[in-house]
C-alpha cells in the first residue's frame, strides 16, 4: 500500500529518498514525507505534505533536509484522512517512524499511551509506534533495536516499520510482518525499502526479509534477527529484473500482480473489524440505528455494481432488511422513491465515479442516509456520504478491477453481519461461523491464485473462441456477470453473463460446439439445478468449464474442464469463485496479446457521465 525507503551512508540522503519514492509513484498515493538525520548535529528534520511527490520536492527546496541517514514514505491513507499531520514520518521525541500496514490494536494502545501521558499529533495508527519506541527507551531499553523489539511485542496487525533515533544516528531499524520489506546492500551504505524498485538504481544486491524478521542497518553492515532476537542469516540475491518488471513485483502485468495480492488485501480489509470474542463486527466505530432502516438500496457501476448485487443477497439473508440494487447511472434518472427510512449504500473503488456521486446527491436530496464503501480514503464519494467504510486493497493500477472487487465483497459481508447482529436475525453462532470463515479466506484464496497453470492451459485451449457464456444462480449470478465483464474488458471477446435459470429463455440458442460456457456450480442449494443447466449445454455440444467445490467427484462427468475452489460458507463463496474467472480472463487476454493493464477505450476512474 504505502511506499517506504530508508538510507544510511555517506551521501546526502534526501535525493536518494526522493529518487526512490519517485520509482513508487506508479502506485498512486495521497501524501509523502521524509525524515533526514544530520549525524553531526544528532538531530533529524521531518518534511512532509499532502499530495504528489512534486509538492514534497518543492517544500524541500524551501526547507532543505541535510544529512546522510534518512527515511521517506508515500502514503495511501487507511487510518486518518490524507493531510500533512497524518503523513509519515511520525515523530515522538527523538524517534522517527514510517510504516506500511495496519496496527490492529491501535485503539487500545493509543488509550494506554494517552493514559501514560503521550500527546498525539495525528489520527494515524503509525504514530502509536513512535510513542511505543520512545517509551521503551525511557523504560530502559539499552538501544534502538531492543526498543523496537519490545514495541513490536505490543503490536498486532500487519506492518513494515522503519525507525530512526536522533540519539543513535548511525543506525536504522526495520521490521516486517506481512508487509514487504527488502534490504539493499551497498558499499559503505545500505538501504531498506518496501519495493525493490525504490533502490534498484542504487544497488541490485538485496535481501528479502521474511515474516517476523527485523534488521539493524548501519553503514557497514546489516544484522537480521527474529522478533525474539535470535540471529537469522540470508544469502543476498542479485536482482536481474528491469525497473519496469520490478514495479510489477516480477509479474508480467499489474493485473496479475493484483490478482495475487488479493489474499493480503482481504486480510487487511478484515484487520481491526472482526471481533471473534464477541462474534461481532466493528464498522470502524460506525453504529447504524437499524430500527430506523426500512430499506437498503445499493448503488454502483460496473464491477462495484456486481459486488452490490452480491450485497443484496448478503443483507437480505443475514439482516432480513428489504434490499435493492441499482446502477447508479439509472437510479438518478428514474426519480426514485426515497425517504428517511432508506439507507443508500454507495460502492465505489475509486470514490470518484461521477454517476455514483450524482446518485448519492439525488438520494440525499430526498432525505435518505448514505453509507459509502470505497478504497480511497477521503475521495469524493466517502466525503459526500454520511458514513464511510473503507476497503484496504491498496492502490489498484490495472484498469480491470480485481482486488478492489474481492475486498468490496468482504466489506459488504462485514456490513451485513454487523446489521444482522443488530436486527437479531443473524444468530451469534452463525455470526461466529461466518467470521471464522472470513478469517480463513486469505489462505483459501492463496490456494487458488497459486494454481494458475491449469487455468492458463484452459485459457490457451479456448482463447480463440468468438464468444463465452457465463452462468450462475443466486449469488453466483453476479459472479457470472463479473466473469463476463472481466473477459470483455481485457480480451475484447464478447461474453454474456446469465442467471443459469434464464438460459432456456433465450441464450440456449447460442450454444454449439464452438461456445465455451463457464458454469459456477459450487456446493449449495442450487447445485442440482445448475448441474441440469450444465447438462443442457453439454447436450448441445457446448464446451463446459465448471467452477466447482473441491472434492466434488460428480461434476467431472458433466464437464470438459473443472476448476476447483476450497469450500467456505455459502454466503462467502463468491469471494472464492470469482478468482478463477479473473485468472481465466487474464490468461485468455495474455494469450491474445492485448494491452491488459490499459485495455482500449477504458479509464481507471470514470469521472464523466
Alpha carbons 321 and 339: distance in angstroms, whole number: 15
- The residue from 86, 216, 303, 323 that contacts ligand F6R (CB under 6 A) is 303
Cβ at position 606, least distance to ligand F6R in Å: 5
Cβ at position 400, least distance to ligand F6R in Å: 4
Sign of CA dihedral 136, 137, 140, 141: positive
- The residue from 302, 311, 336, 472 that contacts ligand F6R (CB under 6 A) is 302
Cβ at position 269, least distance to ligand F6R in Å: 15
- The residue from 353, 407, 526, 582 that contacts ligand F6R (CB under 6 A) is 353
* 487 near ligand F6R, rule: CB under 6 A: no
Quick one: 353 or 526, whose CB is closer to ligand F6R? 353
Quick one: 104 or 268, whose CB is closer to ligand F6R? 268
Quick one: 400 or 579, whose CB is closer to ligand F6R? 400
* 356 near ligand F6R, rule: CB under 6 A: yes
* 491 near ligand F6R, rule: CB under 6 A: no
Alpha carbons 558 and 545: distance in angstroms, whole number: 10
How many residues sit in the footprint of ligand F6R (CB under 6 A)? Answer: 14
Q: Which residues contact 14 (CB under 8 A, 6 or more apart)?
A: 34, 36, 60, 64, 65, 66, 67, 70
Q: Which of 2, 176, 444, 486 is catalytic?
A: 2
Alpha carbons 449 and 453: distance in angstroms, whole number: 10
Number of Cβ atoms within 10 Å of the Cβ of 11: 13
Alpha carbons 6 and 183: distance in angstroms, whole number: 9
Q: Pick the stretch among 121-129, 310-318, 346-354, 386-394 that binds ligand F6R (CB under 6 A).
A: 346-354
301 flagged as catalytic: no
- Distances in whole angstroms, Cα of residue 260 to Cα of each of 16, 267, 522: 30, 13, 22
Q: Which of 154, 529, 592, 604 is catalytic?
A: 604
CB-nearest residue to ligand F6R: 302
* 346 near ligand F6R, rule: CB under 6 A: no
State phi, psi for 410 to the nearest 5 degrees: -65, -45
Residue 480 contacts residue 585 (beta carbons within 8 Å): no
Long-range contacts of 359-364 (CB under 8 A, 24+ apart): 359/299, 359/326, 359/328, 359/329, 359/331, 359/332, 360/299, 360/384, 360/385, 361/332, 362/331, 362/332, 362/336, 362/338, 363/297, 363/299, 363/336, 363/338
Cβ at position 411, least distance to ligand F6R in Å: 12
504 flagged as catalytic: no
Nearest residue to 53 (alpha-carbon basis) of 76, 23, 22, 77? 22
Q: Pick the stretch among 113-121, 344-352, 473-481, 509-517 that binds ligand F6R (CB under 6 A).
A: 344-352
Quick one: 400 or 495, whose CB is closer to ligand F6R? 400
Residue with C-alpha cell 447482529?
Answer: 421
Alpha carbons 114 and 120: distance in angstroms, whole number: 8
Q: Binding mask 400-429 vs ligand F6R (x if CB under 6 A, - otherwise)?
A: xx----------------------------
Q: What residues line the site for ligand F6R (CB under 6 A)?
A: 301-304, 348-350, 353, 356, 400-401, 489, 605-606
Instruction: Name the residues annotated as catalytic.
Output: 2, 604
Amino acid at each position: 500500500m504505502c511506499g517506504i525507503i530508508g538510507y544510511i551512508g555517506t551521501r546526502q540522503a534526501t535525493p536518494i529518498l526522493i529518487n526512490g519514492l519517485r520509482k513508487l509513484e506508479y502506485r498512486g498515493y495521497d501524501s509523502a514525507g521524509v525524515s533526514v538525520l544530520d549525524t553531526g548535529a544528532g538531530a533529524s528534520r521531518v518534511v512532509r505534505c499532502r499530495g504528489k511527490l512534486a509538492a514534497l520536492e518543492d517544500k524541500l527546496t524551501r526547507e532543505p533536509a541535510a544529512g546522510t541517514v534518512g527515511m521517506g514514505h508515500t502514503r495511501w491513507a487507511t487510518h486518518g484522512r490524507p493531510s500533512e499531520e497524518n503523513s509519515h514520518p511520525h515523530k515522538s521525541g527523538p524517534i522517527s517512524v514510517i510504516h506500511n500496514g495496519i496496527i490492529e490494536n491501535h485503539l487500545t494502545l493509543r488509550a494506554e499511551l494517552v493514559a501514560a501521558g503521550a500527546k498525539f499529533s495525528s489520527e494515524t495508527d503509525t504514530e502509536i509506534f513512535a510513542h511505543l519506541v520512545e517509551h521503551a527507551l525511557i523504560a530502559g531499553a539499552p538501544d534502538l533495536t531492543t526498543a523496537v523489539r519490545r514495541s513490536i511485542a505490543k503490536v498486532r496487525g500487519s506492518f513494515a516499520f522503519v525507525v530512526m533515533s536522533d540519539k543513535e544516528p548511525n543506525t536504522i531499524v526495520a521490521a516486517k510482518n506481512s508487509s514487504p520489506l527488502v534490504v539493499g546492500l551497498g558499499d559503505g551504505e545500505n538501504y531498506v525499502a518496501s519495493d525493490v524498485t525504490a533502490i534498484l538504481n542504487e544497488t541490485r544486491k538485496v535481501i528479502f526479509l521474511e515474516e517476523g524478521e527485523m534488521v539493524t542497518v548501519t553503514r557497514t553492515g546489516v544484522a537480521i534477527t527474529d522478533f525474539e532476537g535470535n540471529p537469522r542469516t540470508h544469502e543476498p540475491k542479485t536482482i536481474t529484473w528491469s525497473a519496469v518488471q520490478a514495479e510489477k513485483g516480477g509479474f508480467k502485468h499489474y493485473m496479475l500482480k493484483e490478482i495475487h495480492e488479493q489474499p493480503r488485501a482481504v486480510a487487511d480489509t478484515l484487520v481491526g473489524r472482526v471481533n471473534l470474542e464477541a462474534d461481532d463486527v466493528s464498522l470502524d466505530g460506525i453504529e447504524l440505528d437499524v430500527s430506523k432502516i426500512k430499506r437498503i438500496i445499493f448503488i454502483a457501476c460496473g464491477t462495484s455494481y456486481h459486488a452490490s448485487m452480491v450485497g443484496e443477497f448478503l443483507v437480505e439473508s443475514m439482516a432480513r432488511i428489504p434490499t435493492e440494487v441499482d446502477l447508479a447511472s439509472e437510479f438518478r434518472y428514474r426519480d426514485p422513491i426515497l425517504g428517511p427510512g432508506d439507507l443508500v449504500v454507495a460502492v465505489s473503488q475509486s470514490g470518484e465515479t461521477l454517476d455514483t456521486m450524482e446518485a448519492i446527491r439525488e438520494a440525499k436530496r430526498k432525505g435518505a442516509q448514505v453509507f459509502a464503501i470505497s478504497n480511497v480514503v477521503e475521495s469524493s464519494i466517502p466525503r459526500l456520504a454520511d458514513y464511510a467504510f473503507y476497503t484496504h486493497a491498496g492502490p489498484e493500477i490495472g484498469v480491470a478491477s480485481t482486488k478492489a472487487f474481492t475486498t468490496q465483497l468482504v466489506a459488504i459481508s462485514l456490513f451485513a453481519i454487523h446489521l444482522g447482529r443488530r436486527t437479531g436475525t443473524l444468530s451469534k453462532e452463525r455470526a461466529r461461523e461466518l467470521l471464522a470463515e472470513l478469517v480463513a479466506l486469505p489462505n483459501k484464496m492463496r490456494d487458488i491464485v497459486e494454481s494458475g497453470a491449469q487455468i492458463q492451459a484452459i485459457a490457451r485451449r479456448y482463447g480463440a473462441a468468438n464468444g463465452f457464456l457465463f452462468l450462475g444462480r443466486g449469488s453466483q449470478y453476479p459472479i457470472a456477470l463479473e466473469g463476463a465483464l472481466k473477459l470483455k474488458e481485457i480480451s475484447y471477446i464478447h461474453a454474456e453473463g446469465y442467471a443459469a435459470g434464464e438460459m432456456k429463455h433465450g441464450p440456449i440458442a447460442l450454444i454449439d460446439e464452438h461456445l465455451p460456457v463457464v458454469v459456477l456450480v459450487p456446493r449449495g442449494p442450487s447445485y442440482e439445478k445448475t448441474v441440469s443447466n450444465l447438462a443442457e449445454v453439454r447436450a448441445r455440444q457446448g464446451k463446459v468449464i465448471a467452477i466447482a467445490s473441491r472434492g466434488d467427484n460428480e461434476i467431472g462427468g458433466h464437464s470438459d474442464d473443472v476448476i476447483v475452489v476450497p469450500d467456505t460458507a455459502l454466503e462467502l463463496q463468491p469471494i472464492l469463485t470469482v478468482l478463477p474467472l479473473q485468472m481465466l480472463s487474464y490468461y485468455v487476454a495474455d494469450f491474445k496479446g492485448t494491452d491488459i493493464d490499459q485495455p482500449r477505450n477504458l479509464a481507471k476512474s470514470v469521472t464523466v457521465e
